[in-house]
A and B are shown apart, each in its own frame.
Chain A
Amino acid sequence: AQSVTQLGSHVSVSEGALVLLRCNYSSSVPPYLFWYVQYPNQGLQLLLKYTSAATLVKGINGFEAEFKKSETSFHLTKPSAHMSDAAEYFCAVSLTGGYQKVTFGTGTKLQVIP
């Protein structure tokens, strides 16, 4: 079985500061990993995904994440926060091979302080 743990249900950063949202995964086999963003009253939007190619993955809106197998981590970063980044972020994992469901973390709400 696979799972993800997101550390910190709420994160606050100042506008222009580094954004770091943490995600650790548990998987018995190499996983696929994803980050999604959800704005109020909307569905989730895919930010980026890791599928065993490059370990540093670049996504939309200036976000990127690095897959670190030794740390079983897939943290999401952005060098400079914008007010428009305020949203809830979800890390997700799926096993490779076969028809595997996608399991989501519990989410991290990002607040950007002007």
Chain B
Amino acid sequence: KAGVTQTPRYLIKTRGQQVTLSCSPISGHRSVSWYQQTPGQGLQFLFEYFSETQRNKGNFPGRFSGRQFSNSRSEMNVSTLELGDSALYLCASSLERGDYTFGSGTRLTVV
């Protein structure tokens, strides 16, 4: 069965721009979580969506937002990009809490 698909894999953006990342979960998984991974901070929780509702949110500024569609696909958006937003953004889908299947991530570079 297909895994979690994240697109694009790599992205280069300029400061001040905005970006949208996409995540398609495993079929049947209704929970989608997003994490930001950086060498200095490790894995930081962004948000979790379940059946189109945001169920949990991490401590990120309002520039970070997300949504989930009726087919469970999820997008996250970052507006007014800053250099510090450069990171690997990971999406994970699950049936049970913590039993995540991760995508390969989107590596965002802000220049």
Which A positions have Cβ atoms within 8 angstroms of B? 32, 34, 36, 41-46, 49, 90, 92, 94, 99-107
Contact = CB atoms under 8 A, between A and B. Distances in A.
Interface of B: 4, 33, 35, 42-43, 45, 48, 50, 55-56, 58, 90, 92, 97-105
Task: Output the residue of A36, A44, A46, A92 with the most chain B CB within 10 A.
Answer: A44
A101 B58 CA distance: 9
Name the prevailing secondary structure of the B interface residues.
strand
Contact of A102 (B4, B55, B100, B105): B100
Given A99-B55, A100-B97, A102-B100, A43 B42 contact: no
Contacts, number: 57
B56 to A, nearest CB: 5
Contacts of B103: 43
Given A99-B56, A100-B97, A44 B42 contact: no
30 contacts: A32-B98, A34-B99, A36-B100, A41-B104, A42-B104, A43-B4, A43-B90, A43-B102, A43-B105, A44-B100, A46-B99, A49-B99, A90-B43, A94-B97, A99-B48, A99-B50, A99-B97, A100-B97, A101-B33, A101-B45, A101-B48, A102-B33, A102-B45, A102-B100, A104-B35, A104-B43, A104-B45, A105-B42, A107-B42, A107-B43
